[in-house]
Amino acid sequence: MRRAQFLRAYDHWITDEYRQPAQGLACYRILYVLLTLVFKGTPSYLWLATMPNYLYNPPLVSLGALFPGFPSYPFCFALTIGVAILYVFLLFGFRTRFTGLALFGLLLIGNSFSYSFGKISHDELFALLLPLIMSFSGWGALYSLDATRGRQPRTEGWPITLLALLLGFAMLTAGLPKIQTGWLDPSSSAVHWYMVRRYYGLHSQDYLAPLFAQLPYPFFWEALDYGAVFFELLFLWTVVRRRWFQGFLVLAVGFHFANLLILNISFTANLLIYLLFIDWQPVIQLVHKANLQALGRIFSRQSALFSVLLLQIGFVLFRAYAYPHVTENALREEANGRYSNAIVSPLELVLQALRIQIDTNVLLLLAAVLVILFACWTAVYRRYTDEHVLPADRHSTVGPG
Amino acid sequence: MREQDTLNRSRLRWLFAIIFLGLVTQWLFISVIQEPYPAIVYPAFTALAVHEGHIEDNRTEIVIRSKTQAPVRVDAQRFFQSLPQSFVKFVLATIDQRTEQTASKVRLRVGPYQFEIKKTLYQDASMVNAFHQWLDQEISRTLQIDEPTQLTINLYQDQLDRAGHRLGQEKLLHSTTIDLHRGEKR
C-alpha cells in the first residue's frame, strides 16, 4: 500500500508537478530564444581556428579529447552559422524537436573545443542542456510553423521536472565542497576574502564593490557565508515541490544580482532558465486572447522566419568581419569596458549606435526580474479576482491561438 | 490535442532513477579524478587559501625582449587579450607543462590503494613553430613590438590582508622563458 502511494506521488512529481500549459511552453520558447538572440548573441567559435594546437589541453573525458587540436576555420564558420540558424528555427518552431536536438549537438561540439584550454566555464551549462531536454516537452506545439503544418506534438511535464532536478543537483555540487573547505568556520569569512582578492587583487571594482570592499562587519560577512552554503544545499530539497522551488528561484535571482553588484561575478545565463519555472497559466490568461493569436500569426509565417534569418546571418557575418580574432567571452569582457567596445549581440550594436554605455548583463538581469515580477503579480492578481484558483490546464485540449 | 505523456510511467520512473544515479556517479568521478565535459556541476569557489589573517594572491607578468627595443613588461591578462580572461591562468599552466615537458598527474585513491594517471601533452616541431608564430602575431598586435626574441612568463606571489594591504615584497615563484623561433626553453 505504501509502495503504491509512493509510486503515485513519484509519478505525479515526474509528470505533473512542473507541467506547463501548451501556450506557456510556446511563450517561453519565444521569450528564451528572443532574449538569447537579442541580449546575449549567439556564440561565435571563429576564434578557435586562430588558436595554436600548443594550447590544446582538453579534459580527460570529453569530446575534445578525441581530436588532436582545434578545428579549421571553415569548420568553425559552419558551426557558428549553424548555431545562429538553428536558434532562429527554434524561435519560429520549425521542426522544433529536430532543431532542438541539432542545436544541442552543435553547441556540444563548439563548447567542447572552447573548453579545451584546461578551463571549463559553468555559466553556459543549462544553455547547452535546455534545447536537448525541452525538445521532448512539446514547446513547439503552438505559435510555430510546426503548428500551422499540423505537426503538434503532445506537451510533456517531465522535461521541466528533469531540468529542475539537474539545477538543484548542480547547486548541491557547489554547496557541499564549501562545507569541507571551511565556509562554515566562524573565523574564516570566505566571502569577505573573495571580496578582498577580487577587489584588490583582480581589480574587479564595478557597481557596488567599492561600498562593500571596506565594510567592517564580521557578522555580515559570516551571514553571507552561511547564507550561500544553505541556499545551495537546500536547492535540491526544494525540487520536490514546485512552490518551494519557485521561492528559491526568486532567492536565486537576488543571489545572482548580489554576486554581480558586489563581487562582479556574472552568472546571468541562468536567468533565462529560471523563467521556465514561473506560473505561465496566469500570465497567458491575463494577456488577451487576441494578443496571443497575433503572436501565433507572427511566428507561423515563413516570410517572418526568412526575414529574421537574414538579419541574424547578416549580424553574425558583420561580427565575424569586424572582430575576427576575438573570442566571444573576451568580447563580452571587452564590452564591459576593459579594452574596447566590441559587439557580441544586436542589442550592443544598437546601444553603441545610440552611444549608450551600459553592461548588457545588467540589462538581461533587469529583463528577467521584470518577467518574474510580472508573473508574480499576475498570479496574485488572478487569485484575488477569480474565485477559482487556476490549476495548470493539465488535461484540456488546446488548439493553436 | 491531448496533453499526455508519450513515455509510459514505468519508463519515466526508470529514466529518472538512472539519471539520478548518473548524477551521483559523475560527481564521484569529479571528486576523485577530473571534471569531464559536460558535467552537471557548478563552481564551489573553494580554492582560496587563507593563512593566519592573509591570503595569497598570484600575479603573472609577461616580459618581451626584442632586437629593436628595451624589454617590455605586461600583465598576462593584458597580453592574452584574444582569450577569455578566465582561461589565461589555465593556458599559462599548459604552456608551462609543455615547455617543461612535464606530465600532469591525476590521482585516484580507493581505500588504501592509489592509482596515478599521467597525461603527457603531445607536441612536435611544427606545433612549437606554429605556437611561436602565434606569439609573434600577438606581440605585434597587442604591444606593437617587432622582431621579438624572447618571451618570459614570471609568476609572482603576494599576500593581502583583510583591508587589501599588501604584506611585504612579492616573491617570484616560477619563471619560464621561451626563445622564439627556436623551440627551446631556458
Those residues whose C-beta lies under 8 Å from the C-beta of residue B153, and which sit 6 or more positions away, are: B60, B61, B62, B76, B92, B95, B96, B175, B176, B177, B178
Residue numbers in B near A108 (CB within 8 A): 38
Asked if A326 has any chain B CB less than 8 Å from its own CB, the reply is: yes
| Contact criterion met (CB below 8 Å) for B78 and B142 | yes
Q: What percent of chain A has pLDDT over 90?
A: 49
Distance from CA of B23 to the nearest CA of A (A): 8
Residue numbers in A near B7 (CB within 8 A): 158
Distance from CA of B87 to the nearest CA of A (A): 6
| Contact criterion met (CB below 8 Å) for B116 and B105 | yes
- A115-148 per-position pLDDT tens digit: 999 999 898 899 999 999 999 999 999 999 999 9
Asked if A258 has any chain B CB less than 8 Å from its own CB, the reply is: no
- A69-128 per-position pLDDT tens digit: 999 999 999 999 999 999 999 999 999 999 999 999 999 999 999 999 999 989 889 999
State the pLDDT at residue A250: 87
Residue numbers in A near B37 (CB within 8 A): 58-59, 61-64, 111-112, 115, 120
pLDDT surpassing 70 at residue A399: no
- Distance between CA atoms of B141 and B64, rounded to whole angstroms? 13
Asked if B108 has any chain A CB less than 8 Å from its own CB, the reply is: no
Inter-chain CB proximity B36 and A61 less than 8 Å: yes
State the pLDDT at residue B182: 57
Residue in chain B closest to A62 (alpha carbons) equals B37
Residue numbers in A near B44 (CB within 8 A): 173-178, 181
A396 — pLDDT class (breaks 50, 70, 90): very low
Q: What is the pLDDT tens value at each position of chain B, 186 positions in all?
A: 444 555 578 899 999 999 999 999 999 999 888 899 999 999 988 756 666 678 888 889 999 999 888 999 999 988 888 788 888 999 999 998 888 776 666 666 666 666 676 667 777 888 999 999 999 988 998 888 988 999 999 999 988 887 888 888 889 998 999 998 654 444
Instruction: Quickly list DSSP for A199-223.
Output: IIIS----TTHHHHHT---HHHHHH
Q: Answer with the residue of higher pLDDT: A207 or B62.
A: B62
Residue numbers in B near A325 (CB within 8 A): 82, 141
Q: What mean pLDDT comes out for the span A312-324? A: 87
Residue numbers in B near A50 (CB within 8 A): 82, 134
Q: Answer with the residue of higher pLDDT: A33 or B125.
A: A33
Distance from CA of A348 to the nearest CA of B (A): 19
Q: What mean pLDDT comes out for the span A386-393? A: 52
- Facing A154 at nearest CB: one of B6, B12, B13: B6
Asked if A198 has any chain B CB less than 8 Å from its own CB, the reply is: no
| Contact criterion met (CB below 8 Å) for A65 and A58 | yes
- Ranking A9-23, A192-206, A247-261, A369-383 by mean pLDDT, the lowest is A369-383
Asked if A177 has any chain B CB less than 8 Å from its own CB, the reply is: yes
Residue numbers in A near B87 (CB within 8 A): 117-119, 329
Residue in chain B closest to A52 (alpha carbons) equals B131
State the pLDDT at residue B24: 95
Interface test with A, best of B15, B35, B45, B134 (most A CBs within 10 A): B45
State the pLDDT at residue B81: 80
Q: Answer with the residue of higher pLDDT: B42 or A204.
A: B42
Inter-chain CB proximity B3 and A111 less than 8 Å: no
Q: What's the count of helices (H) and strands (E) in chain A, helices before strands? A: 18, 0
Distance from CA of B69 to the nearest CA of A (A): 24
State the pLDDT at residue B35: 92
State the pLDDT at residue A142: 92
Inter-chain CB proximity B55 and A55 less than 8 Å: no
- Distance between CA atoms of A258 and A215, rounded to whole angstroms? 15
Size of interface A-B (CB pairs under 8 A): 217
Residue in chain B closest to A141 (alpha carbons) equals B1
Between residues 332 and 361 of chain A, which touch chain B (CB distance below 8 Å)?
Answer: 333-334, 338-339
Asked if B93 has any chain A CB less than 8 Å from its own CB, the reply is: yes
Long-range CB pairs of A240-244 (<8 Å, 24+ gap) are A240/A13, A241/A17, A242/A17, A242/A18, A242/A164, A242/A277
- Distance between CA atoms of A38 and A346, rounded to whole angstroms? 5
Asked if B4 has any chain A CB less than 8 Å from its own CB, the reply is: yes
CB atoms within 10 A of CB B171: 10
Cell of A142: 503552438
Inter-chain CB proximity A178 and B44 less than 8 Å: yes
State the pLDDT at residue B2: 46
pLDDT winner (highest mean) among A2-11, A90-99, A114-123, A335-344 = A90-99
